[in-house]
Every structure is written in structure tokens, then in C-alpha cells.
Structure 1
Amino acid sequence: MTSRTSRAAAALSLVALGLGALGTGLPAQAAPADPARPDHDLRVATFNASLNRFNAGDLARDLSTGDNVQAQNVAESIQRARPDVVLINEFDYAEGNELLFRDSYLAVGQRGAEGIDYPYVYFAPVNTGVPSGFDLNNDGRVGGPDDGWGFGFFPGQYGMVVYSRYPIDADAVRTFQHFRWADMPGNAIPEGWYSEDELAQFPLSSKSHWDVPVDVGGKVVHVLAAHPTPPTFDGAEDRNGRRNHDEIRFWADYVGSPKDGAYIYDDQGGTGGLKPGERFVVVGDYNADPVDGDSLDGAIHQLLDHPRVNTSVTPASAGAVEQAALQGGANLAHEGDPAFDTADFADGAPGNLRVDYVLPSTSLRIRDAGVFWPTSDDPLFRLVGTYPFPTSDHRLVWADLTLPHHG
């Protein structure tokens, strides 16, 4: 375990050094492609943008004006990073929200940044806020956000959306919104907490799991998007921690061997996991840090240690190091490298954590990766700020990938 003193000293020294190429947390520019070698470079990002609202319809209202400051900040953050494909978590589901944000914010240059065009969008329902009709939290009452199939005050709250510069094969998308938790062999369902009637309907996904195939120069990359529940806000039964673990495990099984994924079925009637050899990128806020925080031991390592997942480059930033040192508190007791943090939980007990991931398959090369977290002396620090945050408590995470011409 890293001592409080040594972690703080390391954090301050990394800030002083500027972390070399990490600098402001801005993505490096990809080198020009060799026309003789038809490799395809792809920048993939994930961003929990906190574009959720407390009432149904509020997000549509905010996005319809074109001048909502938070939405402008989210759009500018994406414009500065310029990903080819981006998953946004915490984006309330209601038809039309995805187009309002794309056309009125992403396509419009924000504060000197160039607008960005995403011709292709995937947006679908999620489980958050959908009433279960059961007393899932066992408080003696039925109803309210904690008795939804996923925590939420209305259906679609905390949803997600995928934007892409490359074509999305909509007919081949697989969703797993209704896959039942009880149908995962060896699941971590807390014993005795849920009734048989509840488990007969209880979905694994607190939001949904999506396999979104993207055609990049004639080669398919499966964007595997999800947002597992936070492993907190429960009791000794650890129902949320256990669900978080199994939501992460789902992708590990999905990209594993045919035997690993044999139990899986999708909302379209298909069965089995991803075919061997397919390219993929796991993206999203997984609410699990490799060593710190409250997730079940080993939860995210199910992906980080997976033989088909490429972890050769870990996204990092100098801004995360700076804020961990300035905030102190729980950060000083963390074992993880503060450079890898992706969320600023300065207002909460866990400290800052690495919870947002872009994890490609081993068939994709990682050229570069980073976290959009500028230091406080950078003009773009205004996009991340300090609590209460101007945009989100999470940071955009990106990776530059290469699809080898021979793959």
C-alpha cells in the first residue's frame, strides 16, 4: 500500500513534471496514415456527461434552446477531443433528445472549438426509472426510484447514447436490456434478498448493455456500451455491488470463449456471445476502480485481466494528479495511481477514482490514450473545474486505435 506521504509527494512531483506528453490532457494528433497501408485509425471515447435531469422532459427543454451552458460545455469537451465514436452516459432517454444535442450543440462550434458532425446515432430505452411493481429495496413500500429495475425517478433517466462518424449497422445491433440476472450462471445475486417473483423478471442491466457494430472502412468494430450501477447506496447485502460485478462480468463472458457466452441471449432473440476474432471496444462508466472505492473485489479486473482485452496503454492526465494532491482527504490513502483517475468525487467519501473505460480488443492497436482533465493553469480547465462542476464529475476518456490492414 502506498503511504499517504509518498502518494502526495508523487502526485506533486508528477504535476511539476507535467507528466510529459500528458500535459493538459488534450489528445495528441494522430500521425498521417500511410496510403500504401490501408490501416484505419479510430478515436473512441466515453463520457459520463451528467446530462440527466430530475424530471421527464427537462432535458428536451434544456436542449431545445441551444444555449444551455452545461450542454455547451459537454459539446465543447467532445469537440476538443474529437472522437470518431463516443458513448455518452447519463443522457436521459426520450426520442428526439439525441438529435437536439447533436444538431444544436455538437454540430455548432462552442467557444472557438470546431463543430463536429455525427451522421450516425444509436439511442434506445434503458431500465432506469422503469417501475418494477416490487419492493426491491425491502423498505416496506412499493414505488419510488429505488424500486425501479434500475434506479431512477422516471423511465429513461440516466440513459445513454452513441454518436459515430462511421456507419452504424442498426440491423445488427444487439441489446440486452431484458436479460435476466438469474439467468447468468454462478451469479452474485444476494441470497435471500429478492423473492422468486422478483427474480423471475429482474434484469441484469441497471440501464442496458448494447453491442453497436460500427463499419470503419469496411471493417466492423463492436462498440460494447454499458453503465453498471454504482456499488453503493445499499446495505450489508451489497445488492448494488453484486449487480455491478455481474454487469461487468457480462461483457467479460460476452467477449470470451463460445462456452463462456453460451448462456447469453439478447432482446432480439439471438443467443451466444461475440464471435471469436471480432474486433470490439468496451466503453462506459463502469463504476469500479481497479484498487480503490467500494466495488466488489476484482470487479473491473474481469475486463482488465481478460485475455482478449488490450490494456497496453492506460489513459491518464496531469489534471487528475493535480486535483488529487490539492484535495487530499481520501485520495491520500488510495493505492491507485492518481494519474489514471477519471472522476472527481471531491464532494464524496471515496475520493477520485478510475471508473470510466475505453478497452479495445487485442486485435486493435492502441496508439495513444488519455483523459480530458486539464490542469488548473490551462484555459480549458473551465470545462472541468472544481466542485460544483460546470460540466460533470466525470472526465471524457479517449483512445486512439488502429485497425491493422491485415486484420
Structure 2
Amino acid sequence: MSTRRPIRILITTTAAAALAGAALSAAPASAAPPDDAGTETLRVATYNLSLNRNAPGQLVADLSTGANAQARTVAQIIQRTNPDIVLLNEFDYVPDGLAVDLFRTNYLEVSQGGADPVEYPYAFVAPSNTGVASGFDLNNNGVIGGGDDAFGFGLFEGQYGMAVLSKHPIVEDDVRTFQHFLWKDMPGALLPDDPNTDEPADWYSQEELDVVRLSSKSHWDVPVDVDGRTVHVLASHPTPPTFDGPEDRNGTRNHDEIRFWADYVTSGTASRYITDDAGSTGGLKPGSSFVILGDQNADPLDGDSTEDAILQLLGHPRITDPLPTSEGAVEASALQGGANLAHEGDPAYDTADFADTAPGNLRADYVLPSRDLRVLDAGVFWPVQADPLSALTGVYPFPSSDHRLVWVDLRVHG
């Protein structure tokens, strides 16, 4: 059944518990859950699966049968990694949860390529800022309208949205969304500066600052009941720090979208400014367990993000970085060369296969648990070419996505 709320939509089904995932090869990219997995073991994943489409209604049309090749491929990757909770980035928002219902029914719950089906009785979707018209000339090109003048880049409302799928119950009444939080309301925000004027932080007019939202999509706090223990899924997808000019409006926004979670999980004054879409203030309750998920569009050492963007999370005292790796990423970096040859970061940590000229392959996707959750294992689904499963990730043009699914196994104590 479906429950519609003003800001959020929670979808539940009466499906039985999910079938166990297929046994996979020993490569880190395709590791199976631990043999001793029990009620306290939780596999959490993030996957930018590029199921965004170019027009409203197109995703629903593509998912209405089980024949879409890309959807079958990304579904198989999810089946073979078999996470208990997974955040889907670049999954167009469709009201009433129709798209996510179709994806579950026609793809995830049907064997793909011999993998065991997987069932997610619980799902959360909510509106995205992408494609929502601002009414202002936010890119300062003299014309109002189009994706670049929306609150988040998008050709239609909900493009590049998000969805959370879970085998464990979502605590609907405690979900918090931050779609409407204004960028200017973050103390010390890195508001972009027009380099052609002497005034600081003046890319946006005061009238624009009164409406410009921080989240390019949204920020969600989705509590999940894991055998009596609440784990907060903190989901987001910050804007890429590119596609702008010397004002770096996307780079600074990316930084502050990431900073939002760093402040949210910090008790005391750091999070007091935060207000959710229902009007409640403050950050996460001290001592709460959480996992920050999403394509953060920021690499610790390479790429175009601001120098410390992702370090705000990786260096946070409440957060563990499991450092998931894959052999496929190392192989791809060596074979593709180009910008990868000048990277400072270890290619084993890469999660996205970007253009070889620039920026090269990067670590962009993260599963970052709170320190009270013990990390058992972690990996990136990026098989080497000798592995038959490498057909699922492939090379450009990709059969699935330019991003790879990232998973972490956690021990949750009741």
C-alpha cells in the first residue's frame, strides 16, 4: 500500500523477506554478505544508477515492462550485491511512488542474469529541487528559465531524484526532509562571488538569496528500524562542482551541501541553525547511529571540488571511513590513462568512471557510518575485465552507469 504525506511518500508492500543474494566471485567488487550474517549484520549501499530520463513520464514508461536493458543491468548489480538498505541516486522522482514500485516489481523481484531476486518491502521517495523553477536568472546569462535557473539543475521537476529501498521498516513518523532549507541560512555559507564586482558573495541578489535552496536535490534523514535499533539513513546528492564559471557557484554549493551533514551529526551549536521542512530545528540527537549515503561528487584529492569538501565528512570525529576498494578500478585507471595518470589518489578507491581527459576516474560515492557501527567489510562493485560480471559495468557507453555501487557491511548492536 502507499501512504501520501505533504512532503514525503513512504511505500510499503506485503512482500515476504528478501531472498538471499547469489553467490559471487571472490573479487572485492562482487563479494557476498558474510556467512555469519544475522539480525545484527547490515549491508548498506549507495548507487548512482543513472536511471534519470530526459522527459517526465519516460522513466515510468521504461519501467512498465521488464524489458529495459539498462534497468535490468542495474537491477542485477543490486541483486548480486544484495544490500539490506540502498540509496538510489539519479532515479527520477514520480509522485505516489509509481516509478520505484515498478522498479521493484518488474526488475528487482525478477531474476536478472541468473541472480536471485531481491525484495525491498519498504521504500522512501520525496520531491526533489531539480527542475523546480526559481523564477530568477540564477546563472546570470540574461534569460530566466531552463534547467540552470531551477533550484537544482533539471529539465523537469524531479529529474535526477532519489529513492531509499530497505528490507527493514522505515520509521515514517520520524523522517525529516530538508528540501526547502535556504542556503543563506547556513552560518558562514560559501555563497558564490561575482568576480566582476568589488562586493563579496554577491553572485546572487538579495531577492535570489531569499529563495535559493541549499540542496540541489534534497537532504533526507530516513530512520530505519533494524531489529529494534534505529539507524538514520542520511541521504543526499550534492551538485557536481562543475558546469559554472569563475564564481564557482556549483563548487561552493557542493561544499556546503556536504557540510550540511557534518553539521547535522555534530551536537551543540553547530547544528542549531538547521530547520527541516516541517519546521523542526536542530540536528541529529546525540548518540544516534547513522550512515551518510550518496554520490557526493567530491574526491578527497582529485577533481574539481573545493579542497576540503569531502574532508568535512572523512575527518569528522563521529564518522568512520571504511575505505571500500575494487580491483576493477585499479585496472580501469591503468588501461584508460589520460587524467588518471596525474591523480594523487589511489585508484583502488575510485567509484566513478568519468572522462579520461578530465576529470578522470574519481571517488565520488560514499557509505560513511557513525563510529558506533562496527565495519565488517566494504567494497565497490567494479569487477576486473576477466570477471564475467564486468559486462554489467562495462566501458563507455556504459550498460548501467558511470558510477559503481558502493557497499559496507556493519554490525548493529541491539
TM-score normalised according to structure 1 size: 0.92
- How much does 1:30 deviate? 1.1
Match in the other structure for 1:244: 254
- 1:14-93 → structure 2 map (5 Å cutoff): 23=27, 25-32=29-36, 40-93=40-93
Which of the numbers 203, 207, 211 marks the counterpart of 1:197? 207
Report if the CA contact (8 A) 2:122-2:166 is conserved. Answer: yes
SS in 1 for 2:50: strand
Matches within 5 A, 1:261-272: 261-272=271-282
Q: Count residues with an aligned counterpart.
A: 380
For residues 295-322 of structure 1, give each alpha carbon's deviation from its aligned partner in whole angstroms, at most 9, with x where no partner exists: 00100000000000012x3100000000
State the 4+ residue runs in structure 1 displaced beyond 4 angstroms: none
1:347 positional shift = 5.2
Contact kept? 2:28, 2:325, Cα under 8 Å: no
- What CA distance in whole angstroms lies between the structure 1 residues aligned with 2:334 and 2:172? 45
Cα separation, 1, equivalents of 2:348 and 2:331 = 9
**Alignment of 1:285 onto 2:287:** no
The separation in 1 between residues aligned to 2:44 and 2:87, in whole angstroms, is: 8
Contact map agreement 2:241 2:304 (CA 8 A) in 1: yes
1:23 to partner: Cα distance? 2.2
Match of 2:330 in 1: 321
Aligned partner letter, 2:183: W
Gap runs ≥5 in structure 1? 1-20
2:336–2:356 Cα contact (<8 Å) kept: no
1:212-223 aligned at under 5 Å gives the runs: 212-223=222-233
Name structure 2 gaps, 5 residues minimum.
1-24, 193-200
2:411 paired residue number? 402
Contact in 2 for aligned 1:327/1:346 (Cα 8 Å): no
Cα distance in structure 2, aligned partners of 1:325 and 1:272: 46
Task: Indicate yes or no: 2:176 matched with 1:166.
Answer: no
Equivalent position amino acid for 1:257 in 2: S
Give distance in 2, aligned partners of 1:199 and 1:317: 42
- Equivalent-residue separation in structure 2 for 1:386 and 1:359 (angstroms): 27
In structure 2, C-alpha distance between the alignment counterparts of 1:223 and 1:51, rounded to whole Å: 21
Are residues 32 and 254 of structure 1, via their aligned partners in 2, closer, same or farther at CA, if it must alter by over 3 Å? same
Q: Secondary structure of 1:51's partner?
A: coil
Q: 2:120 aligns with which of 102, 118, 125?
A: 118
Deviations 1:232-284 (A, max 9, x none): 00000000000000000000000012211000000011110001100000000
2:264 aligns with 254
Partners of 1:314 and 1:269 in 2: how far apart? 36
Q: Which amino acid aligns with 1:213?
A: P
Q: Secondary structure at the match of 1:136?
A: coil
Pair 1:341 & 2:350 matched: yes
Q: Secondary structure at the match of 1:260?
A: helix
Residue 102 of structure 1 aligns with which residue?
104
Secondary structure of the equivalent of 1:400? strand
Structure with larger RCO (C-alpha < 8 A, sep 6+): 1
Trace 1:361-400 onto structure 2 (pairs within 5 A): 361-400=370-409
2:19 corresponds to: none
Contact 1:106-1:117 at 8 Å conserved across structures: yes
Q: Deviations over 1:185-215 (max 9, x none)?
A: 0000011100111100111000000000000
Identity %: 64
How far, CA to CA, are the matches of 2:356 and 2:63 in structure 1? Answer: 27
Question: What are the within-5 Å matches in structure 2 for residues 344-359 of structure 1?
Answer: 344-346=353-355, 349-359=358-368
Secondary structure of the residue aligned to 1:401 is strand
Deviation at 1:180, TM superposition (A): 0.3
Report the aligned-residue RMSD. Answer: 1.2
Give the drift of 1:403: 1.1
C-alpha distance 348-148 of structure 1, shift in aligned 2 (>3 A): farther
Q: Residues of 1 paired with 2:36 and 2:306: CA distance?
A: 43
**For residue 14 of structure 1, what is the aligned residue in structure 2?**
none
Match of 2:373, as an amino acid? L
Question: TM-score if structure 2 supplies the norm length?
Answer: 0.90
- Cα 1:33–1:387 shift into 2, 3 Å: closer
**CA–CA distance in structure 2, aligned partners of residues 342 and 333 of structure 1:** 17
Moved more, 109-118 or 22-31: 22-31
Cα distance in 1 for partners of 2:35, 2:219 equals 33
User: Aligned residue for 1:15?
Assistant: none
